[in-house]
Amino acid sequence: MLLTGVDNHRNGLGAMPPLHAENQYGKPGYEGYLNDRVRTLPEVLRDNGYYTCMAGKWHLGAQPGQWPSDRGFANSFALVGGGAGHFADPFALCDAEKPVTFYVEDGKKAGPLPDDFYSTRGYADKMIEYIRHRPAGKPFFGYLAFTAPHDPLQVISGWEDKYAGAYDCGYDSIAARRLEQQKALGLVPSTVAFDDIRGHYPHWETLTPEPRKEQSRKMEIYAAMIEYVDYSIGRVIAELKRNGTYNNTLIVFMSDNGANPKEPSDYPGNTPEGITRAYDNRLENYGKDGSFVSLGKSWAETSNTPCSYYKQTTAEGGIRVPFLISGPGIAAGRTDTENLLHVTDVFPTILDYARAKLPSVHGGKELHPLYGKSMRGMLSGTTQRVRSATEAVCFEMAGCRAVIKGAWKAVSLTPPYG
């Protein structure tokens, strides 16, 4: 939806492969890749004179003809699947992912990764390289899709102990502290009670010492992964400043969903016993090459404070994420907690700033209309509302559904969430 501005049930990703239901196979909107009834953001910008490049996760089509180079990117280095080991061994998260766990570069399968490869650093390096060597005189569009902090929780050497001891107080305490900080910042009403957001997990005081150590260590690694993403974004911004384009560049940052509740054994075909046999998950090896640990429900919901639940659901913890945008004409330091925005709004907003036009027909086929709306009026201060109180936005993911309209939200969750 980010790259097409069109609802996923129309653009080809109505279900995430390999999670199609039997009645979805072969149906329009459920092809498992971006279909020919949409144009991607890089395709439209390329056709309007832009140089386009990307580095990071793709997961929008695994077969030749569906890769980034086929959907508008002049240069690309991409993980085709949904997630993998972050080091030089990009192991698949489960057997179902093995056919799509590989990298492509500029339309060809990439060779072996360097011995010192780490995904976040590698993606930032590629983006800096592409920006540095872009065609002279052309505006550019860069898409940097970090896989971190997606599991497996793995962090680059030298960063593994940056948060040592920071989470020993436990997730209940961290969630309460974060909620009070959010109230102080005006992000949530002062009337929100902590008891209203206590989650769907065993409370910290019920855990014995060893599980507490394991849980604390997971969050330490997760936090270090995120800080390294911040550091890597800073490297890219430094390159924009070095080459003189920073002040004329629109920069958009967001997460793709709420924090991930999965354990390694939750992936299709995996079992706790199989994970124990295949990976070195001793506590002292957490976060290192050869380990496969993940955040789990407890820290996931804490990371989504004050929202309930997490990724894979259409509860607020699954679909509400931070969204940061800066650039020419956008007031610095403004916070908006009132507008109802949707991921598809990014597409028309960028076209609006780039003065680019989306065709209604391509290849003789009528294209699906955009689901998103431009945010430019809100960002420039000429208008306050992107949507009226009577307009709704709708979501569906693996049977979990939601509708938001004005101050109301209706949610339907599937087992094991509902």
- 58-87: per-residue pLDDT in tens? 999 999 999 999 999 999 999 999 999 999
Tell me the pLDDT tens digit for each residue of 32-61. Answer: 999 999 999 999 999 999 999 999 999 999
314 CB-near residues (< 8 Å, 6+ apart): 395, 396, 397, 400, 401, 402, 411, 412, 413
The residue with greater pLDDT, 356 or 200, is 356
- pLDDT given at position 177: 95
Question: Mean per-residue pLDDT for 383-392?
Answer: 90
CA angle 279, 280, 283 (to 5 degrees): 135
CA torsion 184-190-196-200 (nearest 10°) is: -20
Decide if pLDDT at 198 tops 70.
Answer: no
What is the pLDDT, as a whole number, of residue 200? 67
- Report the DSSP beta bridge partners of residue 403: 394, 410
CA angle at 164 for the pair 161 and 166, rounded to the nearest 5°: 140
Average pLDDT over residues 158-164: 97
Which tokens belong to 325?
């945008």
Query: Which band of pLDDT confidence, cut at 50, 70 and 90, is reported for residue 197?
Result: low
195, 258, 277 from 281: Cα distances, Å: 34, 25, 9
Query: Mean pLDDT across the stretch 169-178?
Result: 94
What is the C-alpha separation between 101 and 18, in angstroms, rounded? 13
DSSP 184-196: HHTSS-TT--GGG
- Whether 196 shows a pLDDT value over 80: the answer reads no
Query: DSSP string covering 113-151, please?
Result: PPTT--HHHHHHHHHHHHHHTSPTT--EEEEEE--TTSS
Q: Please give the C-alpha separations between residue 260 and each of 21, 145, 148, 166, 273, in angstroms, as whole numbers.
A: 22, 17, 11, 20, 21
- Whether the Cβ atoms of residue 1 and residue 8 lie closer than 8 Å to each other: yes
Tell which wins on pLDDT, 380 or 153: 153
Residue 17: band (very low, low, confident or very high) from pLDDT cuts 50, 70, 90:
confident
Arithmetic mean of pLDDT, 265-281: 96
Q: What local confidence, expressed as pLDDT, does residue 18 receive?
A: 77
Give the whole-number percent of the chain exceeding pLDDT 70: 99
State the DSSP code for 207.
S
pTM over 0.85: yes
SS3 415: coil
Distance CA 9, CA 18 (A): 15
- Specify whether the CB–CB gap between 351 and 3 falls below 8 A: no
Q: What's residue 16's pLDDT?
A: 86
**Nearest residue to 288 via CA among 115, 161, 156:** 156
For residue 99, pLDDT beyond 80: yes
User: Could you tell me if 6 and 371 are in contact, meaning their C-beta atoms sit under 8 angstroms apart?
Assistant: yes
Tens of pLDDT along 110-145? 999 999 999 999 999 999 999 999 999 899 999 999
pLDDT at 321 over 80: yes
Beta-carbon contacts of residue 68 (< 8 Å; ≥ 6 apart): 42, 54, 58, 76, 78, 104
| Mean pLDDT, residues 220-242 taken together | 98
pLDDT at 25 over 80: yes
Alpha helices in 151-208 (DSSP H): 171-185
Give all strands (DSSP E) within 225-309, no chain letters: 251-254
Please determine, for residue 251, whether its predicted confidence score (pLDDT) is greater than 80: yes
The pLDDT value given to residue 21: 87
Place of tokens 């014995």: 208
Q: What is the mean pLDDT of the chain?
A: 94
For the record, the structure tokens of 118 come out as: 């780490």
When pLDDT is cut at 50, 70 and 90, the band that residue 417 belongs to is: confident
